[in-house]
Structure 1
Amino acid sequence: MRQSITIVGGGLAGLTAAIAAAEQGLDVTLYEAHRTLGGRARSTPAPYVANDGTHVLYSDGEPFRWLAARGLVQPCSRPAPGELARFRFRHGGRVRATPPLALLRALAHRRVAAPAGEPFGPWAERRFGPVAARAIEGLVGVITYTADPGRLSAAFVWERALRAARPAWPAVRYVHGGWSAMVERMAAHARGLGARIVTGERVDALPPGPVIVATALDAARTLLGGAALTWPSGRAALLDLGLRADRRDPFVVSDLDEGGFVERYSLPDPSLAPPGHALFQLELLAGADEPIRAAAARLESLADATVPGWRDRVVWRRDAFANQRTGAVDPPGATWRDRPPIDRGDGVFLAGDSVAAPGLLGEVSLNSARTAVRLAQAALRRASTLRG
């Protein structure tokens, strides 16, 4: 008889786990409380196809290669040279085509190792100077979803800064049709392997093991009753804009002053907006106690400074606020190994973007899901051996 496994949650982690488990010959049942799959990997319907946040994939990571080997991210594209020419930086209150020299000099020190036990801000100031330190913090704001990356582990921030500015830059890849298109392919692939996917059905009691709980930590905490299932996260104001196109529109603006980001997603993928229109997605990190309205106002100011005349060109708009749903960040003295462990004991395993697995943003979900499947399969083998 085929051995069975249950997965709770139909986002990126849950679908990855379903595919990985089905590939190993397990009988998979996945439950998703919403009627649509994807979690934070959902996108809005046409004509303006906006992801739930500023999502990209990184082709230099093993999770991307795993997805690509199964045809789950194709078609996708990388920024073309002409598009990169429209990359801008906001620094010192000005928008310019080049980053500050202090930032480039700091990022050239790729062999420098940062300590995990010290905050990034003081370490970077001593090593590279205050201008470079602040610019690096602004650069990685969108990657950490934290308004003050200087208070995080120096090793955590420095690793992400080097990843974002690696020599083979840009490693980002844009999934055509938005991330919902990728989710649809993942679900179809899982079903093709024999997985059973049930939507619109909430799991209120823990099913018999093995079970992989692939939800946000707050939902996992409710299901598992584990008060210790917590980890720091971040807050961000989000703004999606469908605009009538303007030849002056930038491609990307990295706000080194406030940790914001402006991106015209319809440039590498024109299918995301109607002809003659543009889809922009903007993000700005919010302070721990900053009111949502204040963060949203600052985000509009960023749009004013970077997207010419956007207020007079708006055809479609969506405002959102990301709070405690943006992945894990590591404080000084901690690494990803200190986050909530994947193996919860008694045949229960955890997957998602805030658990003990390496990676950048959504990569944590894929890595933890595949690890959870390996651990679950090992537990099944042990149980089978004991029964035999």
Structure 2
Amino acid sequence: MGGGFAGLTAAITAAEAGARVTLYETHHTLGGRARTAEGPYRTNEGPHALYNGGPHWAWLAQRGLIGPLAPLPPLEAARLRLHHRGALRRTPPFAMLKLLRPRRGRTGGNAPVDVDFLTWATDQAGEEAARAAANYSAVALFHHDPGSLSAAFVQERLRRATKLPPEAHYPRGGWASVIDRMAARAWNLGVRMETRSRVDSLDALTGTGTGAGAGTGTGTGTGPIIVATSLDAARRLLGDDSLTWPSGRTALLDLALRTRRGDPFAVSDLDAPGWIERFTAQDRTLAPAGEQLLQGQFPIGPQESRADGVARAEHLLDLGFPGWRDRVTWRREATANGRTGAVDPVGSTWRDRPAVDRGDGVYLAGDQVAAPGVLSEVSFNSALAAVSLALGRRSRNTLDLKHA
């Protein structure tokens, strides 16, 4: 149930294991948050990138599902700008570099789970560097106060986001190209895909003879069921109030600008969480000729409005893209609330999130459940775990949660 990245991963994995699979998707197209908008501006739901350091990269590559990538030209890569102390800079605070690589010794090494990142990083590199690093990590967190989260959680994402060579890669044509290949793979494996098919209760599946397999019973009378939706949707569907976990709330701003030489590839805010990226720097097919497509995300706190986040975005645009207002050809604003993955508070890890196995043959997959990884890797790992549990067996493609 759910035709996003997690649902398609689960459907393909189950079908490859010989299960009979039906996939239900409420929307008329597949993809979930991995959809790419149709039309002249090929936007994702917020800035998206595919990291090659996780297990999903090898899984997709083995099946030929990644497809052509849009490499970032070296000249463009050098145009990353950092907003620090009210001005744009080319390099981060020197002390911040201490937090980007593992160090040996009594004061270095891995960050602890039971201390917030700002406290731990301040002890390592000083408060200015700690705040800058926390705000930079928001590119992979979408959270308004990364420094308040578990130090171990933030450190992992900070290191992945700043790794050299970069782990972030861009499928040509947007994420929809990957989703289309995954859907074709599922179809060729015999997966039955029901779009525009909203399921409001598991009881609605009783007697249909479908599900994610046919090996164990469930309370609905079908085979095992994998619920690959948002945690909010899963909570309503299953009537389980325990299905909660903190996530981010983020103002999203999409812009198309007439092309001008010298625009930065991306601008990262080190004074507050925020990120703007020019996606046509690596893939010019995302906007019409002569135009550039920008996507930005600016996390907002509980008492802030979308307008507050957009105002911060516009201030960063004023610094990084002078005269941008006169070049706008298209604009869109949105708010992502609880749709950007789990964040782990102090004292918690991914193991403390809602379990994949909900009992009675029902399993969860998605980016806010108990599975390791960064960004879409959580959805992928939870999908493999769900299939492994649903089919009651392990294979070379399943995730061993005991050792992850």
| CA apart distance, 1:77 | 3.1
1:226 is matched with 240
How far, CA to CA, are the matches of 2:103 and 2:49 in structure 1? Answer: 23
1:125 is matched with 122
| CA apart distance, 1:31 | 0.2
2:215 is matched with none
Q: Percent of aligned positions with the same letter in both sequences?
A: 56
Provide the secondary structure at the position in 1 that maps to 2:296.
strand
How far, CA to CA, are the matches of 2:321 and 2:330 in structure 1? Answer: 15
Instruction: Confirm whether residue 83 of structure 1 aligns to residue 97 of structure 2.
Output: no
Contact 1:33 1:199 in 2 (8 A): yes
| CA apart distance, 1:110 | 4.2
1:180 is matched with 176
Structure 2: which amino acid aligns with 1:148?
Answer: D
Provide the secondary structure at the position in 2 that maps to 1:126.
helix
How far, CA to CA, are the matches of 1:229 and 1:117 in structure 2? Answer: 23
1:50 is matched with 43
1:318 is matched with 332
1:37 is matched with 30
Instruction: Confirm whether residue 169 of structure 1 aligns to residue 165 of structure 2.
Output: yes
Provide the secondary structure at the position in 2 that maps to 1:82.
helix
The 3 A distance-change label for structure 1 pair 136 and 34 is same
| CA apart distance, 1:104 | 1.6
Task: Describe the superposition over 1:40-66 as per-residue Cα deviations: whole angstroms up to 9, x where unpaired.
Answer: 111111311011110001111111121
Provide the secondary structure at the position in 2 that maps to 1:175.
coil
2:3 is matched with 10
Task: Describe the superposition over 1:179-230 as per-residue Cα deviations: whole angstroms up to 9, x where unpaired.
Answer: 1121111111100111010000111221333000000011101111100000
Instruction: Confirm whether residue 256 of structure 1 aligns to residue 270 of structure 2.
Output: yes
1:95 to 77, 88, 93: 88
The 3 A distance-change label for structure 1 pair 228 and 86 is same
Structure 1: which amino acid aligns with 2:263?
Answer: D
Provide the secondary structure at the position in 1 that maps to 2:186.
helix
> What is the root-mean-square deviation of aligned Cα atoms in Å?
1.5
Structure 2: which amino acid aligns with 1:132?
Answer: A
2:355 is matched with 341
Provide the secondary structure at the position in 1 that maps to 2:289.
coil
**Count of aligned pairs:** 373
Find runs of 4+ consecutive structure 1 residues off by over 6 angstroms: none
How far, CA to CA, are the matches of 1:78 and 1:286 in structure 2? Answer: 31
Instruction: Confirm whether residue 115 of structure 1 aligns to residue 135 of structure 2.
Output: no
How far, CA to CA, are the matches of 2:176 and 2:347 in structure 1? Answer: 37
Provide the secondary structure at the position in 1 that maps to 2:255.
strand
Provide the secondary structure at the position in 2 that maps to 1:20.
helix
Contact 1:78 1:170 in 2 (8 A): no
How far, CA to CA, are the matches of 1:379 and 1:222 in structure 2? Answer: 29
Instruction: Confirm whether residue 201 of structure 1 aligns to residue 197 of structure 2.
Output: yes
| CA apart distance, 1:161 | 1.1
Contact 1:119 1:154 in 2 (8 A): yes
How far, CA to CA, are the matches of 2:311 and 2:246 in structure 1? Answer: 25
Contact 1:234 1:324 in 2 (8 A): yes
Provide the secondary structure at the position in 2 that maps to 1:27.
coil
| CA apart distance, 1:237 | 0.8
How far, CA to CA, are the matches of 1:311 and 1:285 in structure 2? Answer: 22
The 3 A distance-change label for structure 1 pair 368 and 47 is same
| CA apart distance, 1:94 | 0.9
Structure 2: which amino acid aligns with 1:178?
Answer: G
How far, CA to CA, are the matches of 1:181 and 1:119 in structure 2? Answer: 38
Contact 2:249 2:335 in 1 (8 A): yes
Provide the secondary structure at the position in 1 that maps to 2:38.
coil
The 3 A distance-change label for structure 1 pair 110 and 171 is farther
Q: Normalized against structure 2, the TM-score is what?
A: 0.90
Q: Is there any run of 5+ residues in structure 2 with no aligned partner, and where?
A: 206-221, 395-404
2:254 to 240, 253, 256: 240
How far, CA to CA, are the matches of 2:321 and 2:63 in structure 1? Answer: 37
Contact 1:110 1:162 in 2 (8 A): no
Q: Normalized against structure 1, the TM-score is what?
A: 0.93
How far, CA to CA, are the matches of 1:9 and 1:127 in structure 2? Answer: 43
Q: Is there any run of 5+ residues in structure 1 with no aligned partner, and where?
A: 1-7, 381-388
1:383 is matched with none
Q: Which is worse superposed, 123-132 or 23-32?
A: 123-132
2:13 is matched with 20
Structure 2: which amino acid aligns with 1:182?
Answer: V
